[in-house]
């Protein structure tokens, strides 16, 4: 009876089952070491069925990157309430980011490590996700400046640079937190919030740090 049930499983459900197995395998073993046999066995399907649904190892890996990127960006956006003050929005966004990466370490490994080290088109998929996060953080910084000054005067280049730096720090900190026992999502978010918000507050108060002459 179990075999019949599996046979009638909707394609979309079975495909997600395959992607779950693939993310786990790619995340833990790496793209090169992962085998389609291993992924099929973990998913509880035949290898020909994996190829039927996803054509090749490359397409399977790309599908994993797209799914995990979508889940991460959706989690960050869902964690932020636009009606709240900018500092609270940033805090909630960071906490959602670190919570998601902690709860999905294999997916984060696929995005942060595997996708970026195996060339195009994988790197392009990860870059698209990163650009979406940077755009989101950029808007939060602009909102914070507007709240502070009503007429924000931070140069566009500085805002873009701050957003890039913040996302880059979050990515590195998530990798560190996942590899360091005892570090919680809340602790990681607090660390980055303290680091980022103090600098943002100084800039928006008109007292940024300046390099010595």
pLDDT reading at 153 higher than 70: no
3 state SS of 118: coil
Residue 32 lies in a domain: no
The whole-angstrom separation of Cα 197 and Cα 27 is 32
pLDDT of 161 reads 86
Residue partners of 87: CB distance under 8 A and separation at least 6: 144, 197
If one compares 205 and 172, the residue with the highest pLDDT of the two is 172
Residue 56 lies in a domain: no
Residue 12 lies in a domain: no
Range of the domain at 88: 65-204
Residue 20 lies in a domain: no
3 state SS of 213: coil
How many domains are there within the chain? 1
pLDDT of 4 reads 40
CATH number, domain of 113, equals 1.10.357.10
Q: Which residues in 45-59 are b (16+ Cβ under 10 Å) and which e?
A: beeeebeebbeebee
Cα angle vertex 67, ends 86, 120, to 5°? 100
> What is the rounded average pLDDT for all residues in the chain?
87
pLDDT band (50, 70, 90) for residue 3: very low
Q: What is the pTM of this model?
A: 0.86
Average confidence (pLDDT) over 128-151: 81
């Amino acid at each position: 009876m179990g075999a019949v049930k599996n046979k009638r499983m909707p394609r979309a459900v079975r495909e997600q089952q395959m992607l779950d197995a693939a993310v786990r395998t790619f995340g833990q073993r790496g793209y090169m070491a992962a085998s389609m046999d291993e992924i099929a066995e973990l998913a509880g399907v035949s290898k020909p069925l994996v190829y039927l649904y996803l054509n090749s190892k490359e397409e399977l890996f790309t599908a994993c990157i797209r799914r995990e990127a979508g889940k991460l960006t959706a989690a960050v956006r869902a964690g932020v309430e636009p009606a709240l003050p900018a500092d609270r929005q940033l805090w909630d966004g960071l906490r959602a980011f670190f919570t998601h990466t902690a709860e999905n370490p294999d997916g984060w490994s696929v995005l942060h490590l595997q996708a970026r080290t195996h060339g195009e088109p994988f790197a392009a998929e990860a870059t698209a996700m990163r650009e979406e996060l940077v755009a989101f953080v950029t808007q939060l910084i602009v909102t914070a400046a507007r709240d502070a000054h009503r007429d924000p005067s931070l140069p566009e280049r500085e805002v873009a640079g701050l957003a890039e730096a913040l996302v880059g720090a979050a990515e590195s900190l998530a990798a560190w937190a996942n590899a360091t026992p005892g570090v919680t999502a809340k602790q990681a978010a607090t660390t980055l919030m303290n680091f980022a918000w103090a600098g943002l507050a100084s800039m928006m108060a008109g007292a940024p740090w300046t390099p010595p002459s």
